[in-house]
Amino acid sequence: MTTEKAAAGTPGRATPRERLLDAAGELFYREGVGIPTDALCKAAGVSKRSMYQLFDSKDAVLEAALERRAPALAARLLPPPDCGLGPRERMLYVFERLEEAARSPDYFGCPYVAAQVELKDPSHAASVVAAQAKRRMLDFFRAEAERAGAADPDLLARQLAVVYDGASTRAGIGADDLRGLAVSTAATLIDAAGSAA
């Protein structure tokens, strides 16, 4: 857990904590969780002493950076509640956003899957945060599958999560071009699940 000791900074200027979390989010995503503390502090323009005043450890920075990223990523991937789409379209919306994101040269896959794979410890605080983010997506798929009338909403949700994680990983390592692939695969699963809408 983080130990926050910093006061709020001047309006319009990022605080050392914010700079650290911004740098951590970028570096951990681009270069992996093994980024040296010195490199992290240099990128953030924060001394190591300041970092350890703000956080107990580099692991705590990773945990906080993943937590901070979750709302923005969810807003980018999940459809707004009042967008007027039916449940099938709402599930496919996620895969359309994934295909769009995967076209960027700065796309390295799902940050939560990457963190979990690198850390290899499900009890690590950052792995717990990543697992919670992945669970929220699974819950979204399950709720929409239920609304769509799928014969087995839990199974469909798990299948869609596997497709999402697999597709994002393959695109993130440059092994596949997702254009049309992720959406059509998800659509096949949704339609085979007996969804009514």
pLDDT in single tens digits along all 197 residues of the chain: 333 333 444 445 889 999 999 999 999 999 999 999 999 999 999 999 999 999 999 999 999 999 999 999 999 999 998 889 999 999 999 999 999 999 999 999 999 999 999 999 999 999 999 999 999 999 999 999 999 999 999 999 999 999 999 999 999 999 999 999 999 999 999 999 975 54
**CATH code (residue 34):** 1.10.357.10
Do 31 and 93 fall into the same domain?
no
Any idea what the Cα angle at residue 51 is, between residues 70 and 136, rounded to 5°? 15
Q: What is the DSSP letter of 177?
A: -
Residue 148: which domain range? Answer: 79-197
Q: What residues have CB less than 8 Å from 71, skipping those under 6 apart?
A: none
Do 60 and 141 fall into the same domain?
no
Do 91 and 128 fall into the same domain?
yes
Whole-number Cα distances in Å, 65 to 34, 58, 71, 91, 130: 14, 10, 11, 27, 11
Domain boundary among 30, 49, 77: 77
Q: What residues have CB less than 8 Å from 91, skipping those under 6 apart?
A: 141, 144, 145, 148, 160, 186, 190
Are the CB atoms for 134 and 169 separated by under 8 Å?
no
Residue 19 φ then ψ, to 5° = -65, -40
Domain boundary among 14, 46, 77: 77
CB neighbours of residue 70 within 10 Å: 16
Domain boundary among 77, 93, 114: 77
Are the CB atoms for 165 and 179 separated by under 8 Å?
no
Q: Give dist(CA 65, CA 69) in Å, integer.
A: 6
Are the CB atoms for 190 and 93 separated by under 8 Å?
no
Number of folded domains that form the chain = 2
Q: What is the pTM of this model?
A: 0.87
